[in-house]
């Protein structure tokens, strides 16, 4: 499950967020109003997107500005690919969120792609690499 697929699943909608088998298709901030109660915001993914470094850096600045300036922000869901160790960008974003005291939940995606014996090892690696003491890992 990729980021957009996960969002569709969380919101119980099949095609709310456009999905693709190619990482990095979300290139803008997308707002989804849910039941007239709150907004779910989809930010560009940066991890495994095959985009020029300049685009990746632009996304990083866009994400940081949004997360820093958004006073009504209630929670951040950081999605990491469980098949890999968290990237330097994942670690940097988690540190940044901690520094600015933004509430964060880590979601380990693509866990279904791992062998049973790998799951606990990978989850332990994610917890260690992202210094998850009180931060939820789903």
Boundaries of every domain in the chain? 3-129
| pLDDT at position 72 | 87
The predicted model gives 13-32 an average pLDDT of 71
pTM comes to: 0.78
- Dist. CA 134–CA 122, nearest whole Å: 18
Distance of CA 94 to the CA centre of its chain: 10
Better-predicted residue by pLDDT, 24 or 95: 95
Query: What is the domain class of 3-129 according to CATH?
Result: alpha beta
Whether the per-residue pLDDT at 128 is higher than 90: the answer is yes
């Amino acid at each position: 499950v990729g980021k957009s697929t996960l969002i569709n699943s969380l919101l119980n909608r099949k095609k709310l967020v456009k999905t693709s088998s190619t990482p990095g298709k979300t290139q803008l901030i997308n707002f989804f109003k849910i039941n007239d109660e709150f907004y779910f915001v989809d930010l560009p993914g940066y991890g495994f997107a095959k985009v020029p470094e300049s685009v990746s850096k632009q996304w990083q600045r866009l994400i940081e500005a949004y997360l820093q300036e958004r006073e009504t922000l209630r929670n951040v869901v950081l999605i990491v690919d469980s098949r890999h160790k968290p990237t330097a960008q994942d670690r940097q974003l988690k540190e940044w969120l901690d520094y600015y005291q933004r509430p964060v939940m880590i979601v380990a995606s693509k866990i279904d792609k791992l062998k049973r014996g790998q799951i606990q090892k990978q989850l332990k690696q994610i917890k260690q690499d992202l210094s998850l003491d009180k931060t939820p890992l789903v």
